[in-house]
Amino acid sequence: MSEAVAADELRLLIERWERLDEEKKGIADDQKDVLSEAKARGFCTKTIRKIIARRKLESHVLQEDDALLATYAAALGMQLNFDL
């Protein structure tokens, strides 16, 4: 019987995962709509994507508070000014 219980557990987990996947897909569609709308209003979607990528970059990669990084960068003569 524990087999059957495990099977049910497994099924529920997988179905939960798949439901979440559906939601994600819906949101991705919404994002497409946003870009379509932008395009319809005369904006260049490719450039918008670049802008978004840069803004993401800023918050994730470039805003690091890493003293050692600064040290190494200095050793290499790299400038680390990211005033995005």
Applying CB under 7 A, which residues contact DNA?
A: 21, 24, 28, 32, 35-36, 39, 45-46, 49-50, 52-53
Other Cβ atoms less than 10 A from the Cβ of 39: the count is: 13
CB 38 within 8 A of CB 25: no
Identify what 39 binds: DNA, a second copy, none; CB under 5 to 8 Å per kind: DNA
Which distant-in-sequence residues (6+ apart) come within 8 Å of 35 by Cβ? 45, 48, 49
CA nearest neighbour of 80 among 68, 56, 50: 68
Contacts with a second copy by CB under 8 A lie at: 3, 6-7, 9-11, 13-14, 16-18, 20-21, 23-24, 27-28, 30-31, 34-35, 37-38, 41, 43-44, 46-48, 50-55, 57, 59, 61-66, 68-70, 72-73, 75-76, 78-84
